[in-house]
Amino acid sequence: MSVTQVTPPDASLGIGELSRRAGVPVRTVRFYCDEGLLSPVRSGGGHRRFGPDAVERLRTVRRLRALGMGLPAIRSVLAGEDDLGEAIARERAAVDAELAALAWRSAALRAAEAANPAGRAARLDLLAAVADGPAAHCVLTEFWRSLAVALDPGPYLDSFLAMAAPPPPSEPTPDQVVAYAGLVELAGDRTLRARLRARSVANTAKVKDEPTLLNGLVEACARTEPLILSGAPPRPGPELDLFVAAHAAGRSERDPPGFRDRLVEDLRGDQEPRMVRYWTLTEAVTGGPHVISRAHRWLFQALDLDARPVPEAWPVPEVWPVSEGPVERS
Break the chain into its structural domains and give their ranges.
4-82, 101-307
**What pLDDT digit, counting tens, does each position of 172-221 carry?**
999 999 999 999 999 999 999 999 998 888 888 888 888 899 899 999 99
Euclidean distance between CA atoms 3 and 19, whole angstroms = 19
CB 320 within 8 A of CB 294: yes
CA distance linking residue 149 with residue 324, whole number of Å? 31
Q: Tell me what pLDDT residue 322 has.
A: 43
Of 283, 248, 239, 282, nearest to 267 by C-alpha is 248
Q: To the nearest whole percent, how much of the chain has pLDDT over 70?
A: 89
Confidence (pLDDT) at 157: 85
Residue 268 has pLDDT above 90, yes or no: no
What Rg value do the Cα atoms of the chain yield, rounded?
A: 31
42 within 8 A of 80, measured Cβ to Cβ: no
pLDDT tens, residue by residue, 282-304: 999 999 999 999 999 999 999 99
pTM of the model: 0.75
- Written as one letter, the residue type at 275 is M
* pLDDT digit string, tens, across residues 39-89: 888 887 778 899 889 999 999 999 999 999 999 999 999 988 999 999 999
**Residue pLDDT, tens place only, 46-55:** 788 998 899 9
Note the CATH architecture for domain 4-82. Orthogonal Bundle (1.10)
Spatial distance between the Cα atoms of 318 and 316, rounded to a whole number of angstroms: 6
What is the per-residue pLDDT across 101-157, written as a single tens digit (0 to 9) for each? Answer: 999 999 999 999 999 999 999 999 999 999 999 999 999 999 999 988 666 777 788
CA separation, residue 1 to residues 12, 127, 294 (Å): 19, 50, 66
Nearest CA to 210 out of 242, 264, 246 is that of: 246
Tell me the pLDDT tens digit for each residue of 19-28. Answer: 999 989 999 9
Per-residue model confidence (pLDDT) at position 204 = 82
